[in-house]
A and B are shown apart, each in its own frame.
Chain A
């Protein structure tokens, strides 16, 4: 039986990695991710976790070490944030291009400059196209469960791609939440040890990562993209199995009070919690407002998303990241594009909020909804708006 335990979410993630029986952990400390790998290194030092903990000199090396360990068939884990993720950038494409399953938790943090240790999604949005599966957690339980699920999904032979589990820096990583911790036996039954289809082996030499001449590069990339798109079915299967084993159901997009909603708010990550309270308040005033929270970001759940917003008059997308000089929010660009081919679709409005650790308040969500009401009446004005700017 699972027991409910009060845990800092970072430590819950470490517990999930331990219960997943990760075999190699290579990581470099960076705020606000540090507690995760600090705890894991303690677990390894104390003999609680039989894993190789590789102390590296940078995040670039951490990701490179995980590529090597995954290539020999070891269950591999790392965690990082912000500048650390940016430093990994080139190796992220190698991990996905070489079809190496591993799990990385990103404690989402703003990118410098100005230097910020606080949360937003600009770090992971810069890696949007890196070919990794990407999930967003809202709660500690989400983060715990997704970490275990991500190993199973990544290591599935139909997928063989790395996964990022995003959790908001500080607002999620550093809060204490009640977490249902399963028994080790339950996790073992759900997540057997990783058996790669092939592995680096000195007795049977292979070349992993050769030159891809122009004659084959496109074909290899098509294989990779097909695997990422195909992972969608595997994700649903794994979530189904997880629900049967642990009783908690997961969906690519979570819905809150959406059934008769005229205006939908979309936001990923922990700020969805505040959005729910804002929705409740506006509902009490008779406004037909609802919330969708994408849990799955890559592969983007097109069908599920289109169904989620069908019938709504407007969709107000809140991004915690800014695509400079473009359409504003990267998540909004994606959602707007996904709706473009449809004859009937909601009006899509784009808002940028919660940058560099700025809270997104209930009042901010009210502003977003009233601005969207205005757009419904008056038509488009701005391409996007930054919310809460002090003027």
Chain B
């Protein structure tokens, strides 16, 4: 069981132990982002530097070979935008 956001006492396992491996991905932790990375496909050369540098493993490769941002988990730190050698990633305000 993952760490439940609405857990009644009787449903919580002993000491809140998580018995399902990898269940952290079920938690949406990208909610507090104020800026989000936005990729320009015309500039991206699919080098994968953003994927290497992302401290939150929030970048994955899509079907077309582009490095896509997982917005459920991206915190908007901006490291990918800073490290991108092609200048293909820009940080834009959330809500824009």
Are chains A and B native binding partners rather than an unrelated pairing? Answer: yes
A-side interface residues toward B, CB under 8 Å?
A: 97-99, 160, 197-198, 205-213, 215-216, 219-220, 222-224
Whether A215 pairs with B7 at a CB distance below 8 angstroms is yes
CB closest residue in chain B, given A211: B3
CB distance from A114 to the nearest CB of B (A): 39
Using A97-B15, A205-B21, A208-B15 as known contacts, say yes or no to A215 and B9 having CB atoms under 8 A apart: no
State whether B3 touches A98 (Cβ < 8 A): no
Partner of B8, one of A98, A197, A219, A224: A219
Cβ–Cβ < 8 Å partners of A223 in chain B:
9, 12, 14
Total A-B residue pairs with C-beta atoms closer than 8 Å?
A: 50
B window 1-55: CB within 8 A of A: 3-9, 12, 14-19, 21
A97 CB contacts on chain B under 8 angstroms: 15
11 contacts between A and B (CB under 8 A): A99-B14, A99-B15, A206-B18, A208-B15, A211-B3, A212-B16, A215-B6, A216-B4, A220-B12, A220-B16, A223-B12
Supposing A210-B3, A212-B3 touch, asked if A219 and B15 sit within 8 A by C-beta, the answer is: no
CA distance A10 to B96 in the complex (A): 71
Determine how close the nearest CB of chain A comes to the CB of B36; give it in whole angstroms. Answer: 24
Q: How many residues of B contact A (CB 8 A)?
A: 15
The answer to whether B9 touches A219 (Cβ under 8 A) is yes
A210 touches B16 (CB 8 A): yes
Complex contact A222–B14 (CB within 8 A): no
- Chain B residue contacts of A224, Cβ below 8 A: 15
Q: Determine whether the beta carbon of B6 is less than 8 Å from that of A208.
A: no
Contact A198 B14 (CB under 8 A): yes
Looking at the assembled complex, report how far the CB atom of A219 sits from the nearest CB atom of chain B, in whole angstroms: 4
Among residues of A, the one whose C-beta sits closest to the C-beta of B19 is A206
**How far is it, in angstroms, between the C-alpha of A216 and the C-alpha of B18 when the chains are bound?**
13
Which single residue of chain A is at the shortest CB-CB distance from B5? Answer: A215
Whether the Cβ atoms of B9 and A207 lie closer than 8 Å is no
CB–CB A197/B14 < 8 A: yes
For B6, B15, B17, B19, the residue with the greatest tally of chain A CB atoms inside 10 Å of its CB is B15
**Which chain A residues border B21 with CB–CB below 8 Å?**
205-207
Q: How far is the CA of A99 from the CA of B19 in the complex (A)?
A: 15
Using CB atoms, name the residue of chain A closest to B21. A205
C-alpha gap A290/B12 in the complex (Å)? 47
Closest 8 CB pairs of A and B: A207-B18, A219-B9, A216-B7, A205-B21, A99-B15, A98-B15, A206-B19, A220-B16
